[in-house]
Each structure stands twice: as C-alpha cells, then as structure tokens.
Structure 1
Amino acid sequence: YNVLGVAPVRCRENLNTTTNPMAAGLSMTLGIVSNIIALIILAKAYAHLRKRSKATFLLFASSLVATDLAGHVIPGALVLRLYISGTAGGLCNQSDATCHFLGGSMVFFGLCPLFLGCVMAAERCMGVTRPLLHARMVCTAHTKIVLVMIWLLALSVALLPFFHLGTYIYQFPGTWCFINVLDNTSITDVIFVLLFSGLGLAALAMALVCNTISGVTLVIARLRKKKCHQRSAKSHDIEMVAQLVGIMVTSCICWCPLIYFVSRAMNETLMVMGVRLATWNQILDPWVYILLRRAVLKKIYRITTGRSDLKGSTFRRSHRSKENKCCFGLGFNKLVCSCSGLTCTFSFGDSL
C-alpha cells in the first residue's frame, strides 16, 4: 500500500549487502548429510532385525528421517533460489505461486516431525505398558496406514490457504514464506495460526505424557528387578524410549519458539530467529537416533561406571546358552521352566 506518498517497501530491499546464501546452503548440506547417515544406519538395523516391536519403531523412525530429508531438500532449494536470484516476489505482503508452495512446504514439513514424534511415543507407551495389546494390534500394515494418515493430515493443514483459509506471504527479509501473522491479518489468518500452533503444541504435549509414562514404567520395572525378565527386550525398550525423549526435547527446543512467536505475532526479527531454529530440528533428529543407539549407550555406561564388562547392565546383549529359562504367571505363583537340550522341567517358584 502507498500511504501518504511513501513508496511500498519491497522485500528484497530489506536485504543488506552482506546477505548471502552461504548459511542457508551449509544448513541444507548438513541436514542432508545427517539424514542420509541416519537412513543408512536404520536400513542396517532393519536388516538385522529380530524383534517385531522394534520393526514398528524402525519404520516410524525411517519415515521421520526421510521426511526430514525431504524437508531440507525441497524448501531449502527454493530458499537458495530466492537468495541467488534476488526475485523475492515483490511486496512483502504479497505472494505468488512460489511463495504458496514454499509456505505450504514449511507447514507440512514442520507438522510431520511433530506428529510422527507423538505417534512414536504413543506406540512405545503401548509397547511398554500393554505388550500383549501392542502385539495384537500393532503390525507393519497398520503402521503404514498410520503414516499415510499423518502425512495426509499435515498436507490438509498445509493446503488450507489454497482454499482461502489463511494466507502465505513473503517474510522478512524476503527469502522465505510462511503464515501471515504480521500485516493485515484476517480472521482466517488468525484461525490458521491457531490451528497450526494448537496442533504442534498438542503433539508435543501428547509425546511428553507418553514418554513420561514409558520412562516411569521402565524405572519401576528396573527397581523391582523381576526374575526371568528378558534383558534384550528391556534393553530395546530403554533404547527406543531414550531416543524418543531425545526427539521430543529437540522438537520442543526447536519448534516452541517459532510456535510462540507465530501465535503472538512477534516482530520480523524474532520470526526469522524462530524459523532458523526450527530448521535445526530436521538436522538434530537424525543425530538423536545416531547417538542414542544401544551401542553408544553401552559405551556411555562403560565410561560413567568405569566398568569394562556389562555384567548386570541393562544394556548387556543377551546370548543363547545351553540352558534357557522362562516364567509364566499363574495366580500368585510363577511357573519356572528350565530347558537344557530337549529336556524341560517345570517347578513353582516364589510368589509374584
């Protein structure tokens, strides 16, 4: 708008002479390399898979990393194009086809990791607290259906401005597009902002509750030191919950500032800081999985405890022996089965 003879400010004119695509290019490259490394590790882990519950988690984790990789390549390429070409779509409060696509991509790739982290936390919570129900209800086919539903939900939210329910505009300094929260906002813009912020915060809150329940359950099980507990299963549970907690903490740190700035319609500088911090979520997510694997956790255990062996440790890898033991709960007693070769003997043990 031209007010009192003052010419409208173009987004590109807000860029100072020192602005260059170096930072955006480095961030994009680092994100791509990190996610590719994580995908390779996930593929190797899936190839050596022995547990059905772990298969579901690895499928979710692979989808999260693949989504983060696409979230770096697609929006990153458009941002670099705007940096290099210098054609940032004219006025800051206007948009074009590129802006709509870039804004939709940022909303889609912003919500997907939050939704995936929430669903992964819920799946692990069921696996830890209700293992029989988890084994009966959760399978690869159901996991794929849930993944498709998550992507469709995020896509539906991202496409709302195409149906005039919200607006994507160029944001300062004109190299990225997002929801209109600063200039001439309409009621649909406000609703769109509240929907985006509400879904993101709800996903983070749900992940927090589920991870807390899973963590408390594992701690209680560890303190009880139940006999005949399968150490390998317990080790896998702790590994997966540790990774989920890391993903949740990373998402909270990276996304909460942007969600807060968007919901409160903060100034341009804070918005830029928020979106830059949010992009680090897609860089750190794969490293959470890489660094919080069982092999790394075992090394941390050795360093912190000063022990070279893992005897008695939760992270000790179980090995098959000539004598295997299992236990079954029968009322207030447990039936202990000791097998050696082809011979099995049964006896009643202590009370549960």
Structure 2
Amino acid sequence: MLDSNMSKTLHEGNITKNSSCRSVSVGFPIAMMVTGMVGNSLALILVYISYRKKENQRKRSFLLCIGSLALTDLFGQLLTSPIVISVYRADLKWDRIDSSGYLCPFFGVCMTTFGLYALFMASAMAIERATAITNPHWYSNHMKTSVTKQALTVIWCLVLLFALLPIVGVGKYTRQWPGTWCFISAGDREVPGNMFFAITFAALGIFSLLVTLSFLKTVERLTTETVIQLLGIMCVLLICWSPLLVRFLSICWYIVYFTVSCTRFLIASLNQILDPWVYLLLREILLRKFCIMANAVSNCSMEVRKDTQTAADHVDASPFTPFDFSITTIHIRQSIMTTCCVLVAVS
C-alpha cells in the first residue's frame, strides 16, 4: 500500500496528470536499461583504449573522469532498472517485491547518489579542462592521475554520505507515482529534516550546474574534442535534471504537498543513457566524417542550381576546399550553449 502522503495526492486529482506513466509497458524500462548498458559499456572500452595510448597522456585525467562517469551510470542502470522492471511485472504493486520495506530506501539512495555524482563529475571535468587549458604549466606539474583518482573518490564518498541522510532520520525516501520508483519525499513537512534534505539536494544540483557553466566560459573559444564532449554532457545534464531540480527548489514557495511527476523522473533517468552516447558520438573522428559529408552534400546542392557549363568551369578552376573542423566545432559549441541557456530560462 502506498504511503499516506501519496494516497492524499492521488485523491486530490493528480491521477489524470500522471496517468501517462501508468500506460508505460514493461518494454520501456527494459529498452532503457539495454540502451544504457550498451552505451556505457562501449564508452568504458573506448576510454580504456584511449587511456593506454601515449599521445593521450595530457588528457588522462579527463579520460578518468569520463570513465568514472560511465562506470557510475552503468552501475546505476544495473541497480535500479531491475527493480522498476520487477514492479511493472508485478502489476505496479510495489509490496509484492518489497514486503520488508527496505527496497524503497535503497532505490532512493541510488537515485540520489548517481544523480548528484553525475552533476558533480561534470563540474570536476569543467574545472579540470579549464585548468589544463588556462594554466598548462601548473597542470602538467601538479595534476597527476593519482590526484584525479583521489578527487573522484572524495566526490563519491561525499555524495554517498549525503544520500544516506534519510537512512539516519534526516529526510525520507517514499514511493512516487505510479508506485514504480522511490525518491525524496517532496514537501512532507511532518518528517524531521525533510525540507532541509530536499532543498539541499536541489541546491547542490543547481550549484554544480552553475559551476560547470562558469568554468566552461573560460574555454568557450576553444574547439578541442574534450571541450566539445564536455559541452554535450553539460547540455544533457541540463535537459535531464533541470526540471526535477527546479521542482524541488520550488518547495520553498509552496505550502501544500506535491509529488514529483513521473515525467520528470523519466527525463532524469535518461541522463544515464545519454551521457555515454555523447562521448561516443562527439568524438573528433566521427565529427569530421559527419561534417565532411554534410559539406559535400551542401556543395552538391549548390552546384545543381548552376548552369552545367558554369559548374564545370568552376570545378576545373577551383578544386574541393578542405573541411575546416575548427569552424564547425565553433558552430556546435554555440548551438549547445544556446540550448543550455534556453533550458535554464524555461526551467
């Protein structure tokens, strides 16, 4: 049976608003899990190959961050997706698979830990890239892979300790509509420390996004592969987490109880799936091939409009111009940054 707060919300008329989540079949979480596992596994393999190459020694710290993020997302998929799938197979009745009541707090800890870790990892990668580009001498002398590993361990431990606060009585994890997942109890002021925990979670997430954006400004004119990948990851984080974080932060201005919509949960869950594909697709070799093909198609369409003889003379007089990767990456960067600004404004 769902908790009293959730039952109260259902009676207040939120059934219709979130009924779309109830219509989702078990195939959807299965597809999400498979896609995420494949993407994160491929990302880990490519990171391992790149890490061992001698020419990539200067960006080994960045590769460690990418690998850590992919590994975390993979574990997040493995720990949470089977629970969601089991609930769907049990006709959305959580009690059938969790008679002890311990599975819901476990699910909430996983969601909080993996979500905040991804957000803080983006900040760490932005700081690492900004330092490597703006202070290369200091970076080469002080930023060793051992330092990066220690920083990743500290971030992981701090995030996990924060996620465990509801277990010791500060805040609470409850089942959310339609009863297939658990997360922070939003707006339940009767639970000690619940408001503090919910608002702190949102504040930490938004703070990490702002830190990432601020450090990205220092390298906004550069078009390196790592910067483009970081911009892509940043855009994905904004798309996936902004609606949920802003919703939690709005608790400060609302007195009545509300639940976190299933749509926001689904969008946030996409982060673990999209992160590795951003790294896989925004690699320099793929960007070059894609943009060269796009440039060739554009040139062909322009030549078709010309007179046949004029086009032939033009081809004889001026050969095909080589593709400028830097110009295209500038356009990609500008598009991503524009998207990020729009998402922040809308959220």
> Structure 2-normalised TM-score?
0.75
Percent identity (aligned): 33
What are the equivalent positions in structure 2 for 1:83-102 lying under 5 Å apart?
A: 83-85=88-90, 86-89=92-95, 96-102=101-107
Deviations 1:283-318 (A, max 9, x none): 1111111111110122244245555746x7559xxx
RMSD value over aligned CA atoms? 3.0
Alignment match of 1:150 (pick from 136, 155, 164): 155
Q: 1:133 to 1:87 in 2, by over 3 A?
A: same
1:234 corresponds in structure 2 to none
2:108/2:184 contact within 8 Å kept: yes
1:205 corresponds in structure 2 to 210
2:312 corresponds in structure 1 to none
How many angstroms does 1:165 deviate by?
Answer: 0.5
Secondary structure in 2 matching 1:165: coil
How many angstroms does 1:18 deviate by?
Answer: 4.8
Deviations 1:120-179 (A, max 9, x none): 010000001000111111111001001101110110111000110100011111110001
What are the equivalent positions in structure 2 for 1:1-352 lying under 5 Å apart?
A: 18=23, 20-85=25-90, 86-89=92-95, 96-183=101-188, 185-186=190-191, 188-216=193-221, 218=222, 238-265=224-251, 271-303=261-293, 305-306=295-296, 309=322, 314=326
How many angstroms does 1:31 deviate by?
Answer: 0.9
How many angstroms does 1:185 deviate by?
Answer: 4.5
Q: 1:147 to 1:263 in 2, by over 3 A?
A: same
Secondary structure in 1 matching 2:94: coil
1:95/1:170 contact within 8 Å kept: no
Secondary structure in 2 matching 1:96: coil
> Which sections of structure 1, spanning at least 5 residues, go unmatched?
219-236, 316-352
Distance 1:66 1:174 in 2: 28
Secondary structure in 1 matching 2:25: coil
2:69/2:121 contact within 8 Å kept: yes
Aligned-partner residue type, residue 139 of structure 1: K
Distance 1:314 1:174 in 2: 48
Distance 1:313 1:290 in 2: 18
Q: 1:281 to 1:313 in 2, by over 3 A?
A: closer
Between structures 1 and 2, the one with greater strand share: 1
Deviations 1:104-128 (A, max 9, x none): 1000011111111110010000001
Higher RCO, 1 vs 2 (CA within 8 Å, ≥6 residues apart): 2
2:309 corresponds in structure 1 to none
> How many residue pairs align between the two structures?
286
Distance 1:18 1:273 in 2: 12
1:302/1:308 contact within 8 Å kept: no
Secondary structure in 2 matching 1:59: helix
